[in-house]
A and B are shown apart, each in its own frame.
Chain A
């Protein structure tokens, strides 16, 4: 060993955090602000949305040779995610007959650089599913425990929305919401006529500047990450400010391999990792270890951290690590709205996301499925990108031509060229996002046969949707058609039926995976206690969504942020009390 490495090994940080996404970023921010020395290990590279090196915001379609196609980036050439459904040299597998898709971003800030910014609180009932419905699991905590943290997250990060007083979709401390776009007003009107509420979205985008960050300038491109820091990315809003405290040592390209434990005390002492640029084995020592590598990767780390004392993997005396993996359900439908043909042109980019959404509005007791969903909407006169104009042959005979006469589908020439203009901005899309029932039989485990390019054993998934989710998707499809008809629209494509589980997306596809190290009061059936502290290892914490027993139909990130803050406060408290 050379000298610097010995020096490095000698340093013991107050806290070692693995992963810099929503969970890890918030922990690094809170713990460093409280005075702790933090080592933040991030497998991916450095990323700052404001550094021209990384900026794709405000680029035109034609600045991409593939016009924005998603060849190397799943959500398009300008999207801010480095990584995707597959990462070279980092495979995962699924047991035959089951399926799971795992989206990973490898970069400072993780998946929060390009996420949808939909920032929803879970409601009071979401925490009490078992008591209320007899299936699923209760959290060891209630909405009241989280409410103050949701409030603090709202104030620190910023979220717009409207006060609606809905029990299941609690109000936050909102910035003003942007006004609906034209198609969104039409959706709202249609929703009203059939009893589906359509209210302002709740997105972590600054319609008013706060805390030295810039205000939104309405480019609709949050997925590319905002150079004005006007939307929430963990990189810009949490990690970079945390590093500026001078107490955070950020190590990029640090792919954690295992949590190291003391064989005598059973406590965590640090983390071993592969330094990606040099492909060397390294480790860092810490008094507390916080895992935030994202739900499945955190389970992988725990399961791979085997020792004589922890033969089942770390913090896994219950055998529950990896189990109860669950992702939101998702189903969608598109429609063409004839009234929107030949639209007047104006800039309706707005924020990077829908300005309205539909929170769950029905009572599951009266339905044949146990959990609700919300609806997200799309549409408008966006920048034409790769894919524009494909499929016109399925569209341009639906309505008569300018001369009022019926048209043959397809075509070519000046007449077709004119059709593209006429149909521009006349489509809408709807996507349901529902709560699944967490099942023990849906899990990830270590694949006995495979390692990744770092020699780290990989994950194997075992996941199947149940009847509850399939029936929920069927209900979504029926609702979509009702809304479309109420708008005077024409649904596109064939209505998804039982042959496709009503268009229910494959597990993992909605990218709200949670549950693999769930918290609970009983150490036999849970991995963490209500402070996200491992039952088995008191200086080990999990601050990503692995800790969650359930997720409501509320995209999980706002709850990750609230829970990570709450856990950080507890760590500070326990250190002060000399308990850890």
Chain B
């Protein structure tokens, strides 16, 4: 079978070949003994593993900001009959990581959260996360629809577009989101073409 063949190739070719390479041991031997090396996961370069370790140790969001991101995220992608909410899929932690990984997002994100809190404080006397659900929705309704929003809410619209994107990526790239979406690949298989019922549905065939 195809799959077994390829697995055979995997084990055959991974038999210690890299270990023969003298440069690798040379590179390892020049590391000063007192530096504790970061464990390098498979598929990562050393500098990437070290960078990730550093990013994971840093914190970007304040507890209040993280709470706001969580509340807003669950408004954007709530739980429904098919799957859980953005926060249940771990989206806030992903967004936290991205702020450190790609710092160009920090100002629009932090500033956007403050913009939101400021609008809520003016209107309801409370920051967004502390507002009543109905109050939160009232504000969200004013920034979630770019075509309908009032000009004075334009910064909020831009912020919400960014947030919608991050929450969508965070949710749909999670295990829960991928299952919800119905992506069924990333596994060894045999591609035999589009299933017959789908061809029929689209009035297409392989014979033309």
Interface residues of chain B, those whose CB is within 8 Å of chain A, are 2-3, 5-10, 12-14, 17-18, 21, 23-24, 26-27, 30, 40, 42-43, 45, 47-48, 51-52, 55-56, 75-78, 80, 94, 97-98, 101-102, 140, 144-148, 157, 160-161, 164-175, 177-178, 180-195, 197-199, 201-202, 204, 206, 208
CB contacts (< 8 Å) of B51 on chain A: these are 72
The 7 closest A-B pairs by CB, nearest first: A389-B168, A214-B6, A390-B165, A214-B9, A179-B193, A228-B6, A345-B182
A224 CB to closest chain B CB (Å) equals 8
- Selected from B23, B48, B204, the residue in CB contact (under 8 A) with A251 is B23
Task: Check: A416 CB closer than 8 A to any chain B CB.
Answer: yes
Q: Could you list some 25 contacts between A and B, CB below 8 A?
A: A48-B13, A48-B18, A52-B42, A66-B101, A69-B102, A178-B191, A185-B194, A209-B5, A217-B189, A219-B187, A219-B188, A240-B17, A252-B21, A347-B187, A347-B191, A348-B194, A389-B172, A390-B165, A390-B166, A397-B147, A409-B146, A410-B144, A410-B145, A412-B75, A417-B80
Determine if B23 and A45 form an interchain contact, defined as CB atoms under 8 angstroms apart: yes
Q: Which of A379-387, A513-521, A559-567 forms contacts with chain B?
A: A379-387
Contact A277 B26 (CB under 8 A): yes
Which of A65, A383, A384 is the one whose CB lies under 8 Å from B97? Answer: A65
Nearest chain B CB to A311 CB, angstrom units: 35
Contact B10 A185 (CB under 8 A): no
Q: A48-B14, A236-B13 are in contact. List 10 more A-B contacts (CB 8 A).
A: A209-B2, A215-B5, A227-B10, A350-B191, A351-B191, A384-B177, A388-B168, A390-B166, A410-B145, A421-B180
**A-side contacts of B10, CB under 8 Å:** 50, 214, 227-228
Determine the distance from Cα of A198 to Cα of B160 in the docked complex, in whole angstroms.
41
Please indicate the chain B residues that have their CB under 8 angstroms from the CB of A164 in the complex: none
- Select one of B14, B21, B177, B194 contacting A50, CB under 8 A: B14
B18-A413 in contact (CB<8A): no
Cα distance A220–B183 in the bound complex, in angstroms: 13
Q: Between A and B, how many residue pairs show CB distances below 8 Å?
A: 266
Selected from B3, B21, B101, B198, the residue in CB contact (under 8 A) with A71 is: B101
Residue contact A344 to B197, C-beta cutoff 8 Å: yes
Q: Judging by beta carbons under 8 Å apart, are B42 and A348 in contact? A: no
Knowing A214-B10, A393-B164, A410-B145, the reply to whether A46 touches B23 (Cβ < 8 A) is: yes
Looking at chain A's contact residues, the main secondary structure is loop
Residues of B within 8 A of A52 (CB): 14, 42
- In the complex, A522 Cα to B30 Cα: how many Å? 50
Q: Are B147 and A408 in contact (CB under 8 A)?
A: yes
Q: CA–CA, A371 to B173, complex, Å?
A: 42
Q: Are A179 and B185 closer than 8 Å at their CB atoms?
A: no
B52 closest partner in A (C-beta): A65
Contact call B75/A421, Cβ cutoff below 8 A:
no
B204–A59 contact, CB under 8 A? Answer: no
CA distance A167 to B172 in the complex (A): 46
Q: In the bound complex, do residue A413 and residue B185 qualify as a contact, i.e. CB atoms below 8 Å apart?
A: no
Number of contact residues on A: which range applies?
35 or more
The answer on a CB contact under 8 Å between A410 and B78 is: no
Q: How far is the CA of A544 from the CA of B187 in the complex (A)?
A: 35
Interchain nearest-CB distance for A410 vs B (Å): 5
- Are B13 and A278 in contact (CB-based, < 8 A)? no
Contact A383 B185 (CB under 8 A): yes
Nearest residue, chain B, Cβ from A244:
B17
Interface string of A323-352 (1 = CB under 8 A from B): 000000000000000010000111111110
What CA separation (Å) do A397 and B145 show in the bound complex? 10
Which residues of B have CB within 8 Å of A3? none
For A53, the closest partner residue in chain B by CB is B42
Knowing A217-B3, A218-B189, say if A68 contacts B173 (CB, 8 Å).
yes
Contact B183–A345 (Cβ < 8 Å): yes
Give the CA-CA distance A68 to B101 in the complex, in Å. 12
Residues of chain A contacted by B94 (CB below 8 angstroms) = 65, 67
Complex CA gap A413/B55 in Å reads 31
Q: Cβ of A390 and Cβ of B21 under 8 Å apart?
A: no
Minimal Cβ-Cβ distance residue in B for A49: B13
- A12 close to chain B: CB less than 8 A: no
Chain A residues with CB below 8 A from B184, complex form: 345-347
In Å, the complex CA distance between A349 and B186 comes to 7
- Option from B164, B185, B188 in Cβ contact (under 8 Å) with A389: B164
